[in-house]
Amino acid sequence: MPRWQKRRSAFNHDWLKNRYMPALAKYLNLLDDRVEDREFERSFVSNILPEWQENLDEARALVLDFEQEMSPRRLFESPPLSRSDEDTRRWVGELVHALWLRRCPVKQWVSEAVEATERADAAYRNLRDLLRASADTRSAQAMIPYRAQFAEFRARCQGVANAVSKFPSEVKVV
Residues that bind another protein (CB under 8 A): 1, 5, 8-9, 12-14, 17, 72, 75, 80-81, 83-85, 88, 91-92, 94-96, 98-99, 102-103, 158, 161-174
Indicate the residue among 83 and 125 with the shorter CB distance to another protein.
83
**Least Å from the CB of residue 57 to another protein:** 22
d(CA 87, CA 58): 34
Q: Is 162 helix (H, G, I), strand (E, B) or coil?
A: helix
> 3 φ, ψ to 5°?
-55, -40
Q: 60, 114 in Cβ contact below 8 A?
A: yes
CB nearer another protein, residue 137 or residue 162: 162
CB of residue 152 vs another protein: minimum separation in angstroms?
18
For residue 142, count other CB atoms closer than 10 A to its CB: 14
Q: How far is the CB of 144 from another protein (least distance, A)?
A: 23
Between 39 and 85, CB nearer to another protein: 85
C-alpha to C-alpha distance for 67 and 78, rounded to whole angstroms = 18
